[in-house]
Structure 1
Amino acid sequence: MPFADTLVSQGVLKTPEIISAFNTIKREDFIEEEVKEFAEYDQALPIGSGQTISQPYVVAFMMEHLRPKKGDRILDIGAGSGWTTALLSHIVGERGRVIGIEIIGKLMQTARKHVDTYSFIKKGIAEIIEGDGRKGYEQEAPYDGILVSAAMEEEELPSALKKQLKVGGKIVIPIKESIWVFEKTGEHQFKEQEYPGFVFVPLVKES
C-alpha cells in the first residue's frame, strides 16, 4: 500500500489538498537511485552530506499542523532533497509562492533539479536558495507559514522567523526532540503547542 494511503488510514493525513500533494509528488523523484526501492517505506532516507529526506509520517504531521492553502506564501527551511518544497508548491498553486532554503550548496543544487521535475521553478511558484534558515528570507516576507525540517537545539525561536511571519500564520519547527507549532496571534504574541517524541537531523548553522 502506498504510504499516502497508509497515512490517511492512520488519520495522520486528513486535508484533501495535502493528500493530493502526497499522491502527486512522488518521493522517489527526490532520492538517489540506490535508495529508490525504499521510497514507499515510512522511514527517513539518506540524501548525502549527512542529511536525510524525512519520514513521510513526520512530514504529513507537520504539514497538517502548518495547514498551507492555495495562494499562500511559504518559507521552507532545510529544503534538503526538495520534497517538502515540491509538496508545498503543489498545494499553494500558481497564485502561491514557496521559498526553500538549504545551507548545503550541493543539496541546494540537487533540490532545484528535483523540484523542477514538476516545473514549479519554471512556473515561478518555487525558488530554492542557499542560506542559513535561521535568518529566514526577508526579500519575500511576510509568510503565511514557515516549515522547518531540521531540529534547532536552541529553545528560543529565531527573531528573524518571528518577524517574517504574518499575523495569523504558523511556524512548525522541531526543537530538540519535539515538534513545536507557533501561531502568531499579534505583532509580538505567539500561541505555542508542543508535540514530543520526534527525532530530526540538526539544523546546520553557518560556519
Structure 2
Amino acid sequence: MDTNRDLIDELIRTGYLKSERLIRAFEKVDRKDFVPLEFMAEAYGNYPLAIGYGQTISQPATVAFMLEKLQPELGDKVLDVGCGSGWQTALLAELIGPTGRIVGIEIKDNLVILGNQNLKKYNYQNAKIIKGNGWQGLPETAPFAKIIVAAAAEKIPKALAEQLEIGGRLVIPVGKGQQDIVVVDRIDESHFKEQHYPGFIFVPLVEH
C-alpha cells in the first residue's frame, strides 16, 4: 500500500476500521510520521515495524481493533501504556479532542524522546509522553476514563484496573506466547467485567 488512504481503505474493507470518528483520526494522523526513515517505504504496510530499542510500532489492524474496543470519547482522560513512537497516542489525542487529556508512559528514555518529537509534528496541547512503568500505571494522575496497553502482560496488572474510574475501560493484551486482547470494564469499586478476543502477538510489557 502506497498511501495513508490505501491503508485506511484496506482497514475499512477488512472490518477493522468501523466508526466514523476513528476513520477521521486515521485520516488526520499519518503513520509515516511515526516510523523510522529506513522503513518509510513500508509505512502503510499492515504489519508491525521496528522502531529501535527492541520495540515496534503496532500493526495498523491491531491498533484499529483496540481503539474500536476502547471507544474513547471527547473529553476523556486517557492513559496510553507503551506508546513507542507515539502513533497511537496521537490517534487518541484526535479522538478525545482538546477538552480531553492523554498521558503516554514509556519505560525507555529514547522512546519517550522520540514519541514527544513525533507528537510535536501535530502540535497537540492535550498529549504528552513521560517515562513510567506500565505495570504501575500513573496513580498520581488517576483515575482514567480509558487505559490502553500496547504490550502484553501475563496477567492484568492490578494497578491499572484500580486506576480506572467507575464506568471506565481498560484494553490490554494478556497471556504468554499468543495473547488475548482483553477488554476490562469497571462496574463499581470492586467489580470488573472482562471480554476476551484471542489471536494476537505483542512485545512483552517490561518492568524495568
In which range does the TM-score fall when normalised by the shorter chain? over 0.9
1:105 aligns with 2:109: yes
1:35 alignment counterpart: 39
Whole-Å separation in 2 of the counterparts to 1:31 and 1:52: 9
1:191 alignment counterpart: 193
2:172 alignment counterpart: 173
1:22-101 superposed matches below 5 A: 22-101=26-105
Alignment partner of 1:13 out of 12, 17, 37: 17
SS at match of 2:140: helix
Question: Between the two proteins, what is the percent identity of the paired residues?
Answer: 46
Number of matched residues?
Answer: 201
SS at match of 1:145: strand
CA contact (8 A) 1:102 1:129 kept: yes
Compute the TM-score of the two structures, normalised by the length of structure 2: 0.94
CA contact (8 A) 1:17 1:69 kept: no
1:149 aligns with 2:150: yes
CA contact (8 A) 1:22 1:87 kept: yes
Compute the TM-score of the two structures, normalised by the length of structure 1: 0.94
Question: 1:181: how far off?
Answer: 0.6
1:162 alignment counterpart: 161
Report the AA paired with residue 143 of structure 1.
F
Whole-Å separation in 2 of the counterparts to 1:186 and 1:4: 37
The RMSD of aligned alpha carbons is 0.9
2:139 alignment counterpart: 138
